[in-house]
Structure 1
Amino acid sequence: MEQRRVYGKSHWYHETQSRASRGDALPLVPEAAHVDDRFLLDLSLPDVLLNACDCWLQPARALSDRLFPDVVQVSRLQTFSAYDRLSTALTAAQVYGVQRLCNHYAARLAPLPGPDSSRESNRRLAQITQYARQLASSPSVIGSASRGQLDEVGLTTPDIILINQIIGFVGFQARALAAFQASLGHPVRWLPGMPMQEDAPAERFASAAAVWSSDLPAVTPGYASLAQQVALERWERQPELAGLAPLLATDPDALSLLGETLAALAQPTTSHLLVALLAARINGSQHCFLTLTERWHGAPGLPDAVRNGERALQAWGHNHPLERAVIQAAQLLTRAPDRFSAAQLIPLQEQGFSVTDAVSLLAWCGLSGWLNRLKIGLGNDLD
């Protein structure tokens, strides 16, 4: 008996069930699928700002094309279809709440044929959706059991690495868009009742040392392709990608583009270290947090205040206006990018940041969240 194929959602709120009627497959904003720039989604920005950010926007655009090509060839080792990729992206975009992003992924997903209606396919899609929603909204709940559940529904190691890359990338894209929209003075448009991400439990950061390890098989030099060897040689010495590169090298092009984006945004300033610390604390990446505290060269006591939570940070920042502006902007952008606006960007400018520097710092905050989710989704912190 031929299995029935069904078509996508009629709006950007996505669940695991899809409509059977092809005539109902129009999204709310169908034109959002057709953009020249699949990272900025045709957001109109001043040329000065675009040119200043070009060094990291170029690899980010290429990553969007790499992760979400128009045609995807599935295989025994790579089972994630175009539908799976865009469905995962839309689930993450809904969590982050940036409307431009939701419209885009919904419009691209809507016309695609969904999986068949078998129990196995429904279970697989439900598990993918649950994992995407959890890693996007509450990354600290993800662990080896979560990866085991993905394995149980048939996802391969390259699939599991890819789903984590997609969720992290969409989070980075959401926060970059939020920062750019704030620079234009756009009003925020968030849905009433949408929850704000809660900080990871404080007990995750009680230990003064942690070792990160993955339970997934990594690419080893003896079995790597030439492209994988080149990518590993270039990026496994990058501090932020240490340990991750042998896993991400399953797709060497995506690894290289992530590395180029990271290299363009990373700066050795205390503000950059601070936003990365805040992202790691909120998202729950113990290894990222401890690595950053070892590199900290700013005011003494600030990493401990970040570790101890909101009340300690407020008390510390009372007499530090620059750091207070950075903290407030990074916290809201990490917890709820859909609520980020010029009200958080203006204090940074008042403390001497140019618009370009402020946007790049906030984009780095988003990229730090991506790295946090890769560390959480692909491995475990061991005390």
Structure 2
Amino acid sequence: MRTSECVVDLGALRHNLHRVRTLRPKASIMAMVKANAYGHGLIPAASALADADALGVAFMEEALQLRAAGIVTPIALLEGVFSPAEMQLAAEHRFHIVIHQEQQLRWLLSANVASLKIWVKVNTGMNRLGFRPEDLLKVWTALKGAPQVGQLGLMTHLACADEMGDGRTQLQLDCFARCQAEVQLQPRVEETSLANSAAILGWPQAQGDWVRPGLMLYGTSPLPAQTAASLGLRPVMSLRAAVMAVQDVKADETVGYGCLWTAHQDQRVALVNFGYGDGYPRTADASTPIAIAGRRYRLAGRVSMDMLAVDIGQDEVALGAPVELWGNNIAADEVASAAATLAYELFCKVTARVPRRYLP
């Protein structure tokens, strides 16, 4: 049997949630479990995050999966609803609904529903979803006192919170403050939410009543200048495989498709039973770290669909030796950097043919 697996440490996930609680003790936590909990498994992750105040999903299908699995934690639909029928369905399940455009507002105000928790999203500069600031007062006024609305909140999303020297985050915070003042938001009655993982860690002035941690829950740093370990976070996903062959190569011989890697001496390469068909990034370059039996090595050549090669120099490596592609010894952030991507994408792209194993 092929020995590869994706090990998810639910204890580490709970630890990281507690870390958020420690950092922002006065804020309610909306834990992000969208996109299959960033590839970690929607139901196991949501179950482990039972102490969160709410769970954040992108759309209705994810929320219904949670309810079908018996998850009772409040759930917020971050993209809102996509039809009047979904508005009714959201009301039946008491989902928290984000309203970010005029059509959703009309659906809500014409629906036969009552006392829903509604988040109004304002576009403070990211220019994806949200009402423009100059339109917010009209929207807020329409919702205040409407029978469909039980509790009203104001949220936004920060575009550059991971870049500490970028002045655009402060511009967004200033815009959000003006929006709060314009709608005369009532503290402790009408709530606010601004902070993603990067803002939780790097922008204390951006906390609001609710924080929305995502990446940091899964044990990865959202701040390029700081490691997850330095932030008190534990990796949740470990991607493991094994050495299936060891090849002797002569000086000046190449390895893999495209002949991109050349041996500078007579040496060995180890072949590992994991490739882009399993979700390992094909864009990973020769600086990408890989651990074999606890020792760090580097990728050799282009990642194939079912395997990859590792430069082990003159070392002796046994067949079947354990390989960690990322996890406790190799940070996912390191692999992401070498592959010109983000840890978010690495986690989400681990494919279904890799067995998942959950640690309690």
Same-fold status (TM-score > 0.5):
no
Q: Which has the higher helix share?
A: 1
Pick 1 or 2: higher relative contact order, CA cutoff 8 A, min separation 6. 1
TM-score normalised by the chain length of structure 1: 0.27
Q: Which has the higher strand share?
A: 2
TM-score normalised by the chain length of structure 2: 0.28
